[in-house]
Structure 1
Amino acid sequence: MANKPIIPEDRLDAQLKDYLYRQTNYAIMLTGSWGAGKTFYLKNVFFENLKATGYKGIILSLFGIKSIDDVKDRIFLELYPILNNKVLKTSTTIFKALIKSIDLTKIITNDGIVTSAVENLEKMSQELGEQKREFINLDKLLICFDDLERANPDMLSDNQILGYINSLVEENNVKVIVIANEGKLPEQKFREVKEKVIGTTIHFAQEFETAFESILGDLKNPTDKFLTHVRESEITIFNFLKNENGENINYRTLAYFLNYYYPICHHIQCGFEVKDLDDQKDNILDVLLKFSLMVCIEYKKGVIDFRAKHGLENGVDYMIRKIYPIGDDKTKSMGEELIDKYFPDDGYMFYESIYAYLTGGDYFDQVKFYNEICSNYHVVDQNISPQYKIYNKLSAYAYQQMSDQEFIDETRKLRDYAVSGQFFLQDYPTIFYFIIRHGNVLNINYQTLINKFKKAIRKTIIFHKYIPGLNRYMTVGKDHEYYEYYSQLYPIMTEINLLAKTVSERKLDIQIEDDLQYDYQKLHTWMVQEYQNPAMNASFSGIRPKIFFNTFLKAANSQKVQMNILIMITYTPTAYDTVKSDFNFLSNLLELVTAYLAKKSVKNISGNLILELQENLKKTLNDRKGLIGEPLKIAIWIKSDLIE
């Protein structure tokens, strides 16, 4: 009968087995890039295949060893389960140096486990004593020394490790594989290792599909939907992973990605309550898979971490830079370079919740993730409005798959929604670009379009919300081809945004004043939380001092204590820059308290708390001298509100 031909996937297996079956006095070296999966392959694939041959493989890391006795101890700890199995005690030899210097103290612990270990060791010694004491009778053992390049340099330089391996392979015909990461060992030392103990060097290169399926097989209870999704994305995953180490795939990173991406994917595949979002599941998964891959790869490379995002979080800035290039002389941030590398055709979105989870800064916060999804896909009141469905469709990279006519039709719809004022303020520059790109398919007059945008923005002024970072959407420079049109949008966007800010602050002031009087605990909790927020909005600057002091006088002592604390927290010198309206509130409140104390004699705990409020206000005003900035809001109280 003819021999079965060796298929490509079996070649490495055949090479390694050929070494085992030969009479040799040398070791072989298995090299490959870091993370290529060498150790994983030996432990999970090759060792399993060895079972039918009677061979048993062990892997021993040389990282952290300080002496040859350490090596022997580690070998013993790997061998012990084998030695306790009489079936494996057959003929031929392994040098008795493997056990002659066992340090039993390294097996002794405080948890009582050693008692049985020592008894077994004594029993094993008796059994070995019945055979030749010079040797341990284990015929088919393969020792794989891992992390050669991470071994103690002194032990490599004086050849202790190489001498020990040499004694095993030359004097006792022991089978040894030395695992090394390509390019990590100095060239001179690499040549020395090959000359002294290595007979053959085998380069390890896995078939991606085989390794991919093997790692998927190790996942705990993955759903069929998840497996289908990642298998359909296999080419994308492969291409992204090549960014880490050229053509050499780091399978450690692949395993990390698949394990951490699974909860994200499963959460999305379970569906969203908002039907419009649920309809976007495939697009969301596509974006999240690529984003997660980028973060995992660069995190494992050490380029980014939980705190060092290098501008990746500025996705809006990136999109604007791509849409409105302002010259090739602009220096890119590291984050921009990464985004260009992984997302050359747009489609990038940043998710703080996913980034923190993948870089070890947080658990997978599903609530925060959902809020980010809603923001990125313009979900309002549990729906994506018709105009933003069009916007999302035209902003996604997949829009290029449209037919020419469909693109014209969708662009026309976008224009119609825009000129009727149905978009958020910050989106108009991008919408202008969407309408005129690809040769101005609507043949529209640019100035006419800008005029209609300005009119629409003014007409819908009451619907616009304040955008703190609006300036990020207004970055087109004077050298831009369409600067004359964008520059007409920016002033009205700024004007309407400031008006929206005033309205927003007025609403907040009313809410704060209302909660101060009728739901103080709610207000207290919110303002304390706001203190932790770098963009802190908590302030009493728009509150009437009379309302604050009257509420203080009527409150129980426990609430008076809290109100004193809240004043100190809200107006710590480091909280945020004081504006004039803050100073006015504090000054007029102090005037009220001082006038009250001048007319009334205070005593007991309640009186002491009023005195404490007075001292807190004096200290706060004194601490903040010189820190007063320009007024950012108009105080909503007047002098006549003061208590007489």
Structure 2
Amino acid sequence: MDKYIKMVEEYISIKTNYAIILSGSYGVGKTHFFEKHITHLVEQMPVSEGNAMYKPIHVSLFGLKDIEELQTQILYRQFESQDRNVSALMGVGRAVVKKVIGDDVCRDLEGVAGGLIDFSKIVLCIDDIDRKDEVFQYSTLFGYINMLVEKYGTKVLLIADENKLLEYPKYKEELKEKVVGVTIKYKPDIQEAFNSIIDERTEGYYRKYLYNEKKLILKVIEGRGSNLRHLVFFVEWFKRIYERFVVSMLEDNNQYELKDEVVLSVFYFSLVVCVEFKSGDLNAKNYDKIRDAAKEPKLIWAPAAKVNRTEEQKEANEYREKFMNAYYTSAEYLFFDSIFNNIIGEDALNIKKLKKEVSGYFPVGKEYSDLELLFKDLDYMDCLNLSLKEFRLKVTKMLGYIDRGELDLIDYFKAFKLITNFNNIYGFDLKKLVKRIKRGIKVGANNYSYESNLHVNFRYSSYAAFQPELQEIIRFCLEFNKELKEIEQREKSEMLFTILKRDVVNFKRLMEEDDDNFFSNNPFLNHFTAYQIYQVINKMNNEDVIVFRQFITGRFTYTEIRKSEREVLQELKHLINKPKRRKVKNIRNFVLDELVIELTNFIDTVD
């Protein structure tokens, strides 16, 4: 890492008329390197004339279409750290740039925004050169960079994958020979990068667990080009599995005979699926092939049968073989549907389903877990023959489970009844006991999933003792369950919205299947702003807009949905009709008109 810093420092400290490029594969941490190491370095380096220090400005070309947009981004970055109304500047930035530099990118920049930028005193980092919009010509961009370095002596650091730039026929002629003086081949120390990411993003036992699995994690990450974005994605995603599944598995000494193998199988499957999904190779075209590999493992290594297949089917089969050969040549392939569906965005994480899947692969060490046996022992008829000392020991053990939040929601209600058996023989302070149970429920918040029929299971006889306390526990559990429902709905809404943005066809499939009646029974568009939805629609082709219109049409059934989503859809209708281009007669506007009609019908049914 130090050698890269020294190379950049040397470039800034000498007089130059060229740019340098920091080249490396996508995701290896080039941008992170600039932000963490170079930004601070630049701020400490004096400009050759006077006592002023260089100012680092970092802009991304991702999605930018012309020099005007690039120059506007530079203006934003120049003032975002100062006490100015940046939001106002963002509103006029493009107009200022256009007025000052016009359409000729090679005009003097001394007058830009009234001379607010001195290009000789900035270190300009232009990121994602290889990810700009297609309409942004390389020749125009390279001409602009050449002007900066030649005329103003601007220090320009380009960030890109040079292998991608080489695909441009005139790259060597227009940029490499004329503009770029030094190419820094950036290849980070993967060990150091791992430590940095884990230390920044995790803590406590989760951090320790990941360090213990460092060798395996790095083997998978390095096998996919050492893309650190894959590592970050996995670390953030797996945290929920660790908190809600791995911790309880590691602490339970009796549930599974092969406890370590259980945890490793879940961990490894999560790791490889996260990496493959984030890379983009695991996608809607081959999801089913990866699922089927668990059902027909022999087909993975068998010679391909000579049957007619479409190109898409061939690609999916090839990917399945590639996946299995990369990760499961020496390990048994255990497929966890609950994990897979959550990573690819088709379902919320369901820990109960995961535990059921684990039980299908691994033998259970006992017929009952310790907790199940404890409930059985404290049952009224089973504990009649216990001595008071034995009864107290079991009650104390149950209180331990409560304090750690290790029960299901329904079981806290049951536990209260068992602990206070025989007319509260040990004389517990009932108010304090109820508070203790509530506290335990909160401690175990990560262990629960929403239960749609929870209210049905809260039953007690009209002769039951301590009914006010039982009712208070029931109310608390139901309120907590309601919060779980809201969290689950929000997570699933975000998942569905992500699918809508990424793959409308897959969104339509989920809408039609609707196994848990989520689309039919629950509002979810109200979790997002009208502008967010409008941006998604703008990127849809006409066929996808029709699919979305069909989705809106199918949401008339429930009043709750109409009331909850009315406001956001009202604003969406306004945004669709607002642009001046909507007055032009064309197929796009016809399709949007049809969508507006459906939105109007939806809104009017509420009124």
TM-score, structure 1 length as denominator? 0.47
- Bigger radius of gyration: 1
TM-score, structure 2 length as denominator? 0.50
